[in-house]
Structure formats: C-alpha cells, structure tokens
Amino acid sequence: MADSETDLAAGPEADFDNKPWASYLKAALGFRNHWYPACFSKEIAEGECLGLELLAERVLFKRIGGRVYAIEDRCAHRGVPFSARPECYSANTVTCWYHGFTYDLRDGKLVAIVTDPESPLIGKVALRTYRVEERQNVVFVFIGDGDPPPLVEDVQPGFLDDDLYIAPDGDRGVVRSNWRLAAENGVDASHIYIHRNSRLLSALGRAVPLASYFVTREDMVVDTPGGPKGVVKGAGRKISVWETEIEGERIAARTMPDEDRAGSKGTDTSLWMPCGLKVDPFPALGITHFEWYVPIDEHSHYYMVTWGKRVSDPVEQERFAHEVDTYWREMVVDRFNDEDVFAREAMERFYSEEDGWNRERLYRPDVVVTEWRKLASKHNRGIQGRGYAGRRAP
C-alpha cells in the first residue's frame, strides 16, 4: 500500500494540472455530451410541462402522446422561461405566456406567434432541443451536442434490464453542494462510518462494519468499450474494520458480524459515468439501490434516488412499488441518506472557497475515489461550461 499512499498524499506543491485527474477538476458543472436523469416519469403527466435547470442549462420538458420532449426553457424573444407559467394551446407546442411565441417541442421550431401571426420569423427561429429517453420510470436527457451514444453507456449496469422492475416513486431533491462531492461521498469506501448509528440499519438488524474497502486497484475500474464506465468496490478481497481503539477506548460496530439478524452478505457499490451510483443489494436482500447526483450549478445538485427488484409479475411489481412508497423511501431517504446530504454540504466550503481540491489529504480507502477521478477524466465526452447556458440555437 505504500505506493498508493504516496500517490494519494500529494504535497502542497501539487497543482490541478499535475494531478492525473485534471479535467475532473474543471467539471464543476458536470460533463457535457452525456445522458442525465432529469426526473421521474410520474413528474410529467400527459400534456404537462416541467422546467428544470441541469448543468446550468434551463430545460423544459413536456409529455406529448406519451413521449417526453425537451427544449430550451427560455423564449428566443426575450428570454423568459416558459415554465414560469406553462401555456399550451395544442398538443405539440408550448406558447410563451409573454408574447405568444409558440414552439413545437419536437424540433424546437417557432411555429406560430399569437401576437403576430404573419411574422417572417415563423419557421426561421428555433430553440435548442434535447434528446430524451424514458426508461424504467425515469426521464433521461442528453446534455450535449450532436448524436448521443446509446443510453446504456451512461447508466448503471443492469438498470435497463428487462426483468428489473424500477419503483416509480423515487425521490428527488436539491442538495447544496457540488455534484462531485456527492458522487465521491456515494462511492467512498469508508464513509459507511457516518451511518453507524443509522436507524435504518438498526431496524434491519444488519451488521455493518466501521468501514470496508478494497486494498488493491485490481478489477476496480470497468471501462469496456461500448459499455458504461465506472468504478466498483466489490464484495470480495476487502478489508472490513469492525473495531479499533483510541487512547484505550474501544470503538466497535454497533452490530457485530455474529449478531447479524439480516443474513447480510457483501454489498457491491459502484459509481458510473456521468453521475450514477448503484448499491446491490440495498437496503434489503433482493433490492438494488440507484441514485444520481445531477449538477444544477456549481454549488448544487439534484439528488435522485430509486430502487429496483427483479419481479416480472405485475402483482408483485405493484406490491414492490407499494413497499417502496410506504416504507423504503422514508426509511432510506429520511433515515439514512440524510447523513450523506449532511456530509456533502459540510465539504462544500472547503472545496469551493479554500482550495480543497489541492489541499485535501486522501488516505488508502480513497483509492476508489481517485480511480473514479481518473476514470472520469479519461472517459468523459466534454466539460460543461457556463457558456452553454448562453449558447444560441444553431
């Protein structure tokens, strides 16, 4: 481990460009030319609109004939957001509430102006459009230029599997930290420590160590061409810390392995480009946990969480959806992830104001974090910049 420790303990003289994750450090607004989950399907009913800020771009979503389309949420005329007061006279369009500029969601084109029906601008002006794919009760949007790669390359492996049923009632909220601090907290091998008094784990009777992490980089990185790119800390070959001491005081996991009532096995945690986590199984056997950290701006992100189960029978699917809606969402989001949110927000000042990216002092369990940074630096398709928020449609 001496080598990796040397890598991680970069001295104060190290700067952004010398680190093997230079482009990651520039991605305060996320990576461009990737698919991002925007919201859950249930958040956009037929004919309804939803406005979201994603990677500093303002995006309007509308469901038309079952399918969700997305355009810039900003009228070409004077820049007001349609979503401030959504107005739709017809199925395929949105009309600006201010002067009646009307756009077709399918191609972004200005198709009518209520206040100037004969305007020569009609048909000549267009808003930026966004590619949308809706899968597994989640609406994904491509933030980028040109033809997107297949969605499967930008989601957690298995998420799109036909036999995986994803509960429709996930959770989405705003967290006040940069998205990278969230992603790193998610995959962070040893942050389980903050969950040691978790009410969820107590309720489940699970034995959870003080920390648990890989000690080698082997098999940690997954970057098969054509597939999702990510880092995995698998169930095997890991160190688990169950007890230690400080000045003679014993510190031990709340539930030790021999007291486990949940029949816990190892859990695989993995983080995937551009910003998705997978924990399997979690919170219980047979359930897979998915979450995403979608950049809003430099200092906030949407935190999306949902769960999947391999059940194909509609009755069982309904039962699982009900279980998620009435039990797991509250147990996980309010009684477990709240600790993660606390940690992400507590890091923000250091990283945004105090040169934290250069001054942090990483340690051995962070190898998964640094492997993630290197992977993200290598496999991203572009760095999002503030300029895109101001880009004119082609």
Place of tokens 């249930």: 42
**Cα-to-chain-centroid distance, residue 254:** 30
Q: Is 351 in the site for its own copies (CB under 8 A)?
A: yes
**Both structure tokens of 124:** 């000549």
Site string for its own copies, 354-373 (x = CB under 8 A): xxx--xxxxxxx--------
Q: Is 99 in the site for its own copies (CB under 8 A)?
A: yes
Place of tokens 């993200």: 376
The pairs formed by 318-322 with CB atoms below 8 angstroms and a separation of 24 or more are 320/165, 320/167, 321/167, 321/168, 321/169
Site string for its own copies, 136-175 (x = CB under 8 A): ----------------------------------------
Q: Which stretch of DSSP H or E encloses residue 300? A: strand 300-309
Q: Is 326 in the site for its own copies (CB under 8 A)?
A: no
Please state, in angstroms and as integers, the Cα–Cα distance from residue 202 to each residue in 208, 230, 251, following that order. Answer: 10, 30, 17
Q: Is 249 in the site for its own copies (CB under 8 A)?
A: yes
Q: Can you tell me which of 3, 147, 218, 247 binds its own copies, judged by CB under 8 A?
A: 247
Could you tell me if 293 and 186 are in contact, meaning their C-beta atoms sit under 8 angstroms apart? yes
Considering beta carbons, is residue 1 or 22 the nearer one to its own copies? Answer: 1
Could you tell me if 110 and 103 are in contact, meaning their C-beta atoms sit under 8 angstroms apart? yes
CB of 361 to its own copies, least distance (A): 4
Q: Can you tell me which of 12, 65, 66, 236 binds its own copies, judged by CB under 8 A?
A: 12
Nearest to 71 by CA among 50, 87, 90, 85: 50
| Interface stretch with its own copies, choices 62-70, 88-96, 304-312, 328-336 (CB under 8 A) | 88-96
| Binding residues for its own copies restricted to 190-209, rule: CB under 8 A | 190-191, 193-194
| Binding residues for its own copies restricted to 48-77, rule: CB under 8 A | 74, 76-77
Considering beta carbons, is residue 317 or 352 the nearer one to its own copies? Answer: 352
CB of 185 to its own copies, least distance (A): 9
Q: How many C-beta atoms lie closer than 10 Å to residue 69's C-beta?
A: 21
Could you tell me if 145 and 164 are in contact, meaning their C-beta atoms sit under 8 angstroms apart? no
CB of 338 to its own copies, least distance (A): 12
